[in-house]
Structure formats: structure tokens, C-alpha cells
Structure 1
């Protein structure tokens, strides 16, 4: 398939990376991992909102920094409409993925397959498959709601800063939008999935896990700021000065 210009190719590539990472983050987000145990160090024994022990994160946080970078780059070249389009596309495909995950769970398993993982410590492959991919509706609803709210807030803050700074201070609009949007994202997803959901987390546990996830996302966003600058320089060179300027002007005006 041929595309009329490099702008269309760029949008297609960024959309594919964005959507793939968003879906993967949702699928692996069911796992909560310990930072200290993963690194092989002694627990920090932190005390936050009455919770102590190891720092706990959802595995999905590992991929969200990539989503942040893609969001900021798409914002830069394609504006609100571009981010809005890929956000709704990602939500649709996330729901599509979970629908087929539930359909796969409902399929009758082959009798030999159920026990195939016994040697690896998995006595029932069907139960394991259902537990991993069959995330509850509360978790799915929380993830999708948080994702949409976070994207709406992110794009709003990004363009509010852009109107005041123009083409300068990319770091400010990229980091500033993440700082604000991820407050909502980190709190909403855990509240819907685990507080009002079937696990009924205490408010202290909710705030503690949300806080450490938020801090990680902010640190990752700051650390990845040079990547955004590098991507912008590379994309400007690839698009050419004229097309790059046209895309940015349309994005800023949208």
C-alpha cells in the first residue's frame, strides 16, 4: 500500500506503536510485582498511608512510558484530533482483545492440554489461562476509564502549555502534561478495579500503590524527555523542513 506523503506514514507508524503498547500494558497489568524482590535487594520497608513492606507496581507501568512518548510525539505533529483518534482506536482494540480473551476462556480445553504444565508447577492450564487473561470487568472498566481520562487531560494540558510557549520548551509541555494526567490515571484505574471492585482494597492500600505507580511514571517521563527531543530531531529530518512545519502548524491550530 502506498501513502501520499510521509506525514501519513508517520501517523500510521506512531499509531501502531501506541496501540500495541496500550494493549500489552492492559494485558500484563493484572500482575502486581515487588520492586525490591525483582532487583534482588532488601525491602525498603517504606511506610506510606499505613502500608509497609516492598514497593508494589502493576506490570503495565513498564510499558506506559512508551505510550507517554508516543502521545507527546503525536500531539506535536497531529494535535488533539490525532491523539483523540488513536485513543478511541486503542480503547476499541483493548475491548476487542478482552472480548476474544473471554471467548478463548469459554472454549472447552483439550484434556491433555490441561495437565501439560504440571512439570513446570502449573497443575491446571485452563485455570491459569482464565486467571491471567480473564481479568474482571471491574479491572477492564477501570483501565479503559483511566486511560481515556488520562489522555483527555494530557492533550488538554499539552496544548495549553504549547499556546503559551510556542515551539519552545518541549520538555515543559511533555513533562507537565504527564505530571497532571497521570494523577488521574493512577488513581482511577486502581480505585475502580480494586477498591470498588471485588477485592475491596483499603483506602490506604489504594493510595499507597497509586502513589508509587505515579512516582514511577513521572520519573520515567522525565528520564525519557531526551528521547522526545531526539525523536523530534530525527522526524524533522525525515519529514523535511516544509512538511514538518506544516504538520506542527496544523497540530497547534487544531
Structure 2
């Protein structure tokens, strides 16, 4: 039986997509502690945006946003071929494993460091490796909780919007259901993580939360549009791998049409 399962192309595809989805989410959480300037990356001057009475805003983003757009693309692909139950399954799996990873990070920070290791990078400008290690992996609990909550809620919303659009449009206009669901879920994701991590956790004002939320969403909105062709590329590769007939059957099953 196990050999039959492993020979199934659809099963192998799902396992591969799931592994990449979880790994991508975990990496995004790990590198999310670094903030970068999008303007500096392109050699531009700071945007100096003013919103809700907050001035001097610019595109200072967490490095996690470099990878999160891929998560929503993967979500749409899984939704298209495997259905909402599969999306929820990989989303719950990702949350559990990310939570486990942060528990292990915390445990590693508490283990007494070797004396020689503490100053081992002093010549490279890192006088205390224990502080550096804790600074990188020791994200605040509010940030972790906010990020995981935002991820899970936005995934559920993405699934719901995706299927409502698909029921209205059928098999055509994959760009509409993929991009539309991402635009809605990314807005929710941006707001929830800021609300929990910084409104509740750090006492930010509503004006500051909303202003930064909209700035971050502008980036996510742009990336959702830019990455739309990637949906078509992946879909073609999957249909080539599975075969047109199998891919069509999977899409119908994902929508529950094979039971009608």
C-alpha cells in the first residue's frame, strides 16, 4: 500500500508542496527579525509618506515579507488542485511546526554557553555571541503570537474568498481568484499582526498601526499583482507533470463537483 501511495504523482506533488510551504513559512519567521529599507534596496530616497497624522513613513519592511507572497501563491495552488481541506491541513501543520521551532529556539537560548564560544566572533565585531544569538532568535512573544494568528486567519480568509470567486467564475480567470483572494487576505494579515504585536503588545496608537498597515499593504498589494504570472507558470508545470486529464479531475474534486 505504501508503495502505491508513493508512486502517485498527485501524492508526491502534495508532499513536495507541503514541505516547501512549511519550510518557507519557518524561514520567513526566522528572518522576520531583520528590518530592511525597500527604498535603499532600489537606491531611492525615503518615501516620506504621511498617513493618519503620522509623518515620515517609508517602506521599512521585515525580511519576512520577501517570502510571504509565495505562501499565498502556494495556498492558491493547493486550493485549486486539492481543495480547502488540504489548505487548512498544511496551514495547521505550519503553525504547529513554527511554534515547535520557537520553543526550541527559546530552549537553546537558555542553555549555558561555552566560555570560548561567547567571544569567538569578537574579531568580527560580535563581542558576545550569546547576546547575538538571543537577539536574533529571541523575538518577543507578542510578535510571535501576532504573526502566527495573522497567518492562520489570513489563510482561512484566502481559502474562502478563492472558492467564492471560483464558484462564480468557474475554471476561467484564475488570475482573478488567485490575486483577489491574496489581496483580501494580505490586508487582514497586515492588520492583525500589527494590532496584536504592537497595539496590544506595545501600546501603539491606532493612527500609527493603521498608517504602517497601509504602507506594508502597498508593498504586498504590488507583489500580489507582480507575481500573478507565476500562478500560470506553476499551473502549466503541474498539468504537464500530472497530465491534463488528472489535473482536471483534481480541480473538479477540489470544488466538490465530482459528487454532483
TM-score normalised per structure 2: 0.93
Query: Counterpart of 1:12 in 2: which secondary structure?
Result: helix
Structure-2 residue corresponding to 1:72: 76
Q: C-alpha separation between the residues in 1 aligned to 2:43 and 2:183?
A: 29
Q: C-alpha separation between the residues in 1 aligned to 2:235 and 2:152?
A: 25
Q: C-alpha separation between the residues in 2 aligned to 1:62 and 1:68?
A: 12
Q: Is the 8 A contact 2:57 2:212 kept in 1?
A: no
Alignment of 1:168-179 (within 5 A): 168-179=172-183
TM-score normalised per structure 1: 0.95
Q: C-alpha separation between the residues in 1 aligned to 2:256 and 2:25?
A: 27
Give the Å deviation of 1:57. Answer: 1.1
Query: Counterpart of 2:56 in 1: which secondary structure?
Result: strand
Q: C-alpha separation between the residues in 1 aligned to 2:83 and 2:175?
A: 17
Query: Counterpart of 1:92 in 2: which secondary structure?
Result: helix
Gaps of 5+ in 2: none
Q: Is the 8 A contact 2:69 2:224 kept in 1?
A: yes
Match among 93, 98, 121 for residue 97 of structure 2: 93
Structure-2 residue corresponding to 1:183: 187
Match among 41, 44, 47 for residue 44 of structure 2: 41
Deviates more, 1:20-29 or 1:95-104: 20-29
Q: Is the 8 A contact 1:51 1:204 kept in 2?
A: no
Q: C-alpha separation between the residues in 2 aligned to 1:86 and 1:53?
A: 35
Structure-1 residue corresponding to 2:222: 219
Q: Is the 8 A contact 1:162 1:173 kept in 2?
A: yes
Quick check: 1:201 aligned with 2:210?
no
Deviates more, 1:94-103 or 1:30-39: 30-39
Question: What is the alpha-carbon root mean square deviation over aligned residues?
Answer: 1.5
Gaps of 5+ in 1: none
Q: Is the 8 A contact 2:78 2:87 kept in 1?
A: yes
